[in-house]
């Protein structure tokens, strides 16, 4: 069973130029993530403004893999702390980095270096909803 944790969303103090850059980044379309620890289910909602290749990948996803970016085995590693690999049989996996601010209800699964299995529902902009296998955790070979 994958444990659930509260996700802290830190207060950041920064110079005006940094705040402006952060605000611009936050205005980009973002997927939303909601973890249901009881059902062991990740709910992913994909916005219509997302790049078309990501929407297509989510529509055809065979599975998702949620890891911490620091444990990633691929390059480039996303700068954000969380990384979602969209596994699609038609192409290479697409990577989506995200932050604690993207978790709805400020809860997330505990992601460690041991790979565990759960499920994910993906809701795409066209209203389709599908359920796929979700792998949580894991790390590169050391």
Total domains in the chain come to 1
What confidence score (pLDDT) does residue 137 get?
93
The answer as to whether 21 is a domain residue is yes
Q: Helix or strand or coil: residue 104?
A: helix
The answer as to whether 141 is a domain residue is no
The answer as to whether 142 is a domain residue is no
Q: Which of 51 and 8 is assigned the larger pLDDT?
A: 51
Alpha-carbon distance values, 47 to 3, 52, 112 (Å): 27, 11, 28
Instruction: Give the angle 97-99-100 at the CA atoms, nearest 5°.
Output: 150
Q: Give the pLDDT confidence of 107-119 residue by residue, as tens digits.
A: 999 999 899 999 9
Domain span including residue 121: 4-136
Terminal-residue alpha carbon distance, the chain? 25
The answer as to whether 60 is a domain residue is yes
What confidence score (pLDDT) does residue 30 get?
82
The answer as to whether 50 is a domain residue is yes
The answer as to whether 20 is a domain residue is yes
């Amino acid at each position: 069973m994958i444990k659930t944790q509260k996700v802290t969303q830190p207060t950041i103090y920064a110079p005006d130029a940094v705040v402006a850059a952060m605000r611009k980044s936050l205005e980009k379309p973002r997927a939303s993530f909601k973890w249901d620890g009881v059902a062991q289910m990740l709910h992913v909602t994909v916005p219509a403004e997302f790049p078309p290749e990501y929407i297509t990948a989510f529509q055809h996803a065979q599975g998702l893999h949620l890891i911490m970016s620091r444990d990633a085995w691929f390059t480039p590693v996303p700068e954000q702390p969380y990384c979602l690999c969209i596994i699609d049989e038609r192409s290479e996996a697409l990577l989506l980095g995200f932050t604690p601010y993207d978790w709805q209800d400020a809860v997330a699964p505990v992601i460690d270096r041991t790979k565990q299995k759960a499920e994910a529902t993906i809701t795409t902009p066209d209203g389709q909803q599908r359920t796929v296998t979700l792998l949580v955790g894991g790390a590169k070979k050391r």
